[in-house]
Structure 1
């Protein structure tokens, strides 16, 4: 389990899921979790910050999509909100603008309002908030 956690930051849910594969008794699972926590191989805040940075700066996901995926990994709302400072506000707006312009320019043969609404829907599917998209282009 140490190697599993060293390879990449993991959350509790991922570690527990992996341990299910080993068919361990509950006491052994608890001992392993405690050891990983004590030795700092398992750290929820570090995982959350790393996940947010990766999904935004590499995959270009918006906050809404990142939040949903973290909740699926059983990360608390309080911790998620605390860690969103990993995304620089200027970078967030630049990313929205860049994705908007790139996607918008690829829409051809459509009326202006269709291009715009299709592009906004695309950005929302990437996890960007409607209000933030509008604020960026007003």
Structure 2
């Protein structure tokens, strides 16, 4: 079958749309901190559906960085395996909040990974 110009341009347009980066915009409740998630935003929700997973590479703060507050929590080390040496650096989880409205924006559940979990209540309604 020979393709017409219209069929070729439709296929090119569909292909270009597949390669476009997806963007999701979000903010804290008072809109002082704003961010954008780009590209491969995972559909992986936690058990409660309160957080979606992504990576640090996909998360970009667009304003309000001076209002971002981070709380750190040391994670317990696994002591059940007596054959493994203790970790040389402690594992730490982090939670990021807005200093104005105290809304939890995201959490990084483990310092040994690039995983971020974004609060689904932060996404702007369109």
With normalisation by structure 1, the TM-score equals 0.27
Higher helix share: 1
With the length of structure 2 as denominator, give the TM-score of the two structures.
0.29
Name the structure with the higher strand share. Answer: 2
